[in-house]
Structure 1
Amino acid sequence: MKAFIGYLSMSGNTEDMANILKNVLVSKGCEVDMESLDLADVQSILGYDCIFIGAYTWGDGDLPYEAEEFFDELNEYELTGVYAACFGSGDHAYPKFCAAVDTFAEKLKERGAGVYHQRLKIELNPESDDQIRECQQFAESAYEWVMKDREIEHV
């Protein structure tokens, strides 16, 4: 499986999550490309078996400004057949915890992508064993979801 992990991280928290996801996927034999979303373009990710989109939430539940161009570019593409999973870090001190994760998931669905039902949301940095395990389990279950669905398509 060829996977793309696109993320935005201001303080390194979401990047840490992305690295955990990447390590799990690589251990499963996946070829993984990882890039900051402000450098990625939507057309370049269409050839992947699965895309993981991660972002921190800014202010009162907003997308980071660095994500806006990528987010808007999604409107230019039909994403039917694309598998996607969304993740991000947040802070419960703000009123809309990890709202950027939901915003991306809904946009991907709206454009026709198959979006993994589980969304990974971590308070600040994945430091505790439980948080790291949660990230690992998310990557494993998203991987299994894509592989199972692809098997059904090829039968």
Structure 2
Amino acid sequence: MKVSIIYASTTGNTEAMANSIKEAVASTGAEVVFGTADNADASSVTSSDVILLGSPAMGDEVLEDTMEAFYTGIESGLSGKKVGLFGSYDWGDGQWLRDWEERAKAAGATVTESLMVHLTPEGDDISKCQEWAKKAL
């Protein structure tokens, strides 16, 4: 099974989530494609069995710019794909993640329950990231 984990991070919080998720996915024996939205190869990602994407909430609860650009580029290739979305936030109620879920569903993806962490993932949050990753497979 090939799993892509692509993320954007501005303060390191979503990156910490992505690293925990990568560790959990790798422990299952899956082939892992891992990287940032500004450097990811769209064709490699869309050829994966499972696609896990992460972005912090920015501004008025929107995706980080590089993730928005990357996601827009792969959106049409998500039909029939299993997709999991994750990210960190400071304030708000998670609207950016709910909006992103709706976009992925509209693109034809099968979207697993999303994962949100307030600020820096620590302690139980790390465990939540790892458990979420295994369920997303």
1:86 aligns with: 85
Letter in 2 for 1:48: S
Asked whether 1:130 is paired with 2:95, we answer no
2:27 aligns with: 27
1:42 aligns with: 42
Larger Rg: 1
**Contact residue 46 and residue 77 of structure 2 kept, 8 A:** no
Correspondent of 1:120 among 100, 103, 115: 115
1:142 aligns with: 136
Gaps of 5+ in 1: 144-155
Report the identity percentage. 36
For residues 66-85 of structure 1, the aligned pairs below 5 Å read 66-75=66-75, 77-85=76-84
Letter in 2 for 1:64: E
CA distance in 1, matches of 2:34, 2:96: 19
Asked whether 1:105 is paired with 2:104, we answer no
CA distance in 2, matches of 1:70, 1:23: 23
Gaps of 5+ in 2: none
Structure with the greater relative contact order (CA < 8 A, sep ≥ 6): 1 or 2?
2
CA distance in 2, matches of 1:86, 1:137: 14
What RMSD over aligned residues (CA atoms) do the two structures have, in Å? 1.6
What is the TM-score when the length of structure 2 is the normalising length? 0.90
CA distance in 2, matches of 1:26, 1:44: 17
TM-fit CA distance, 1:71: 2.9
TM-fit CA distance, 1:18: 0.5
Deviations 1:5-59 (A, max 9, x none): 0100001110110010110111111111111112225333121010001000111
What is the TM-score when the length of structure 1 is the normalising length? 0.81
Q: How many residues align?
A: 137
CA distance in 2, matches of 1:21, 1:72: 23
